[in-house]
Every structure is written in structure tokens, then in C-alpha cells.
Structure 1
Amino acid sequence: MAKIWCTSMIAKPTRLVLNGLKKKGFEVYLVGGCVRDLILDRTPKDFDILTSAELREVLNTFQRCEIVGRRFPICHVHIDDTIVEVSSFTTTMRKFKRNSYNVVRRPPACSDTDFIRWKNCLGRDFTINGLTFDPFAKIVYDYLGGLEDIRRAKVRCVIPASACFVEDCVLATRILRGLRIAGRLRFWFARETTHSIKELASSISRLDKGRILLEMNYMLAYGSAEASLRLLWKFGLLEILLPIQVVLFVLDSLVVSSYLTLFGCLNQVLSNEPSLAPRTVP
């Protein structure tokens, strides 16, 4: 476990939802990439909440709230113009049972709550996204070595990388997400993850075009465009995602330099984050 002392970067709508559920007596945590960003002293783009409350109980706690999703339903809590996503322990258990790679035995002296937190982390994509933060006790729970991977600036899959990227077609977006995270944070990939991305890069072409466009927009929108393009080029994905630009790159090296310079300038305009060098984790 580790501690996050500064919680001022948690957005006000998220704090209102956290406090509302806590006052009702429910356990409540922040999970996923927002915890990683808080550890790195970065302002998270969004926040995901995990709670012991059932979704119906979340629905009854807030005036403007709805349950969305069929396969793995969550709650959308509307605070002013912001939507805060809340998932339940129950939903996490259902997702866990559908993943054959998450068949584990309950460790000795492990409480029910600790086991549920652990299983939620096992359902994540990368270890650095598999952290659970109690914002009231200010404790980070790490069951997957995510803190060590943050220290080492490494992107590593939770389950075997070859399975992580091919469980189903939709989850192939993890390749793009992994590249986006690595580009934004200036992290490197674990050896197994690097090998699997190279082997499975062609699976990106089977993804829905709308999903690809969404991921590409994310890559270019948050001050990491240049680094993301370099990674896409390195792993042979540019010829799938931006085929016209790749032809220009091959024909004229000056075009490559001009493109990267352009996106480098764009990064400086869009990025209001601290230094991209990995920070030491307490």
C-alpha cells in the first residue's frame, strides 16, 4: 500500500459523489487511470468510482442518475454538466466471473472487501491502471505491482499480453490505449507487451472505424501527439491508421520532420501538465 496525500486534484463533481455515497455508509474508491495520474501529480482527465452500493442504491442516492450499459451496467451520476461514472462491487464480480484468466484462489486472511478490491484490479488492462484509492483514508491498494511499474515507467499487461489484446475484437483497442498511455507518460513497454503489440498490430484494422477515430482523437488531443505518432510508426500501425501520411513519410523524410515538428508544437499548446519525466513514488 502507498498513500496519496494531496487530493486537491480530485474534481469537485467527483468529490460530491464520493461524499454522497460515503455519508450513506457505503465503501467508496477511485479506480483506474485517475489513481495513476494522482500518483504522478497529474490532473486526471476523468474519474471512475467503485462502491459497495448496489446500482439501485446509487440511483436512489442522487437526483440525476441513470443506469447505463447492458453487459456491465454502471451508473452515470449527473453533477451540473459533468457525468461521474460509478460501478458497483456486484458488477465487478460479474465481470470477474466472465474472465477465465481471473481464476484465483482466495488468499489466507483476506477479508471480503480486500478480495473484491483485488478482483476488480485483475479486470483492468495494465498494472498501472490497476490501482485502488481510498480518498478518505488516502491509501492506495496495489495488488499487481502497479506502483513499481510506475516507478520504472513501464506499461505492462495485467494478464498475459497475447490474451490481453485478443480476448475479443473490442479489447484490441487496448493496443491503441496502451500506446496512448505510453506516449503521454513517456513510459516504455514490458518486453512481453512489446512483442504482442508487434504480433497483433494488424488486428487494429478489424476495429470499428468510430472507435479508431475516438482513440486517435485521444492520442492527439492531450499534449502527447508527437510521442504517440512515433510509437504508431515504431509498431507499424501508422500504415493502418494513416495510410496516406505513411506514403508521404516514405517518399520524403522532410515530411516526417515537418509532421513531428507540427505535432510537437501542438503538444506545447495543449499540454498544461508538469514535466513528463516519471516521478518518484513514495
Structure 2
Amino acid sequence: MRLAFRLLAALLFASGLFSAAAQAGELRYSESVLHEPINSQDWLGRGVRGEMLVTVFRPEGAGPFPLVVINHGRDSQRRDAVQRYRFESASRYFLSRGFAVAVPTRLGYGASAAAGDPENISNRCALSAYEPALDAAGAQIARVVERLRQETWIDPQHLILLGQSVGGLGSLAGSARGIVGITATINFAGGHGGDAELHPGQPCNPEALAEAFRQFGAQASSPSLWLYTENDRLFAPEWAQRWHGAYTAAGGRAELRLLPAFGDNGHALFARGEHIWQPILDDFLARLGLRHAHRIVGQPTADQKG
């Protein structure tokens, strides 16, 4: 009997299907990978072409399921070493609440890093230009949504964008592109141009970032939740408040939660502080009418560093 079970498990993994039953009780889902060709540009106007890998987790059943797109941050020193992003623990949180999950690895990271870096902002901190980088990130995030909303098992009227750091700001950029069906955006420590070692807490050209937030606020049509911490070593609280003010003054709807210090660098809250943010998201999803269950799921994994 044990041998038969082992053979069955091996066949399931060989076929590319993954059942989470052994890890999460009744939680079952499949995992697949989409390959999306992308044409983009860097800040110098040079063409960047490559393939965006998108990890897709689909709950068991016919659906249609609401969709969350989880967008990674940036480590400029290790872009080519990035593996395909999965954010398995955070993904399981949403799967347990009835969501399908997509996790893109954007152009310029991992295997596509050799093609170029459309999210670079300049080689001079004070002159950092964010528009090309955020246009590239927002366009790729929108591409993922448009691709998956065509699936019959996706509910095209209940779509959430979520991201951490550059992925958080990129998610706001994506939500400003007029995508039909975006229900909300969740921004974990969103920003760009930060460096915890060279200029802790002070991003490059922060007023240019404020202008980007202002533009996205003027164009957004759905609410957003922003989570920052008192000890973020990339983006100090003053900038979170400044950017939130710019976003809302332009008409954007954003709930800012400035949380207490977390560890030695609050920028890692999304990766390591699930016990803190999961209840906050439960409340937010409930107010949107999207909470399917209510329980803490999973532990942080290495691919959560984003």
C-alpha cells in the first residue's frame, strides 16, 4: 500500500501537478508556468526584449476565482541570480481564501537579466528618473492581468494587485493603467531608489517619486491599502507619509497603515511578518467582500525576499 502511494505521488509531481494536501490539510491547488514575451525599454531608451515567467497557482475546482497578482521587489546586486518567483507561503494565504494567484518574474530578473534592465533608474542617485522603470513594471503587471482574465476559471471582475517595494509601486502603476476589474491594490513598502547601506531611509530623488505617486493617484479608480513600518531602512516613514499625501491629494483612495518597527529592518515585513499582515489583509478583504476563510497559513520561505 505504501509503495502504491509513493508511486502515485511521483506520477503527480512528474506530470507538473502539485497538490498541497500534505502541507496544508484540505488546501489543494495546481502550479503552472506561463511564458510571456515582453518588449520594453530602459531609461536610456534602449530596447529590452525577453520572456517573463509567470508562476500560476490555481485552486482546485472550476472557479471562477478572484485573482491576485503578487509582484516582487528588487535586489540590484543579485538580479541575474533570481530564481522564478513563487512566494509560496503568501500564495497559499490567498489560495486558502479562494483566490487564484499569479507571480510574475519581470523582465530584467533571473534568466532574462542578460537582456537588459528596464527597471534601472540611472547611475546618478540625485538624477534618478523613475518614469521609464515604472512604465515597464506597470505594463508587465497589466500584461499578466490581461492574459489571465481571459481564462474561464478567473473572475475578471475581482482582480487584486499586490507588491512589495518596487513591486508595490509597480502595482500602483499597473492599477493606474485603467485595467477593468481591478478591485484593489495592496502596497507593501512601495518605492524605488532605496539603499539600506549607502543612504538608509532616504531614496534617490524622492520628490520625483512623489510626482509618480501623484500621477498614479490621479489615474487610479480603485481603493488601495499601504503597509509601511517605522524602521524601514529603504523608505523612512516621512516618505511613506509624503507619498501617501501626494497620492490622495490627486484623488487616489489609499489607507496608510504605518506599523511599529519590525525586526532590524521593517522593509522585510512582507517576507517575514505574516503573523502581522495576514490579519490586516483579512480585514481589508472582508471589507471588499472577498474574504473566503480566516486562518493563518504557512511560514516564510526563502523566495519571499522580493
Settle same-fold status: TM greater than 0.5.
no
TM-score, normalised via structure 2 length: 0.30
- Of Structure 1 and Structure 2, which has the larger fraction of its residues in helix? 1
TM-score, normalised via structure 1 length: 0.32
- Of Structure 1 and Structure 2, which has the larger fraction of its residues in strand? 2
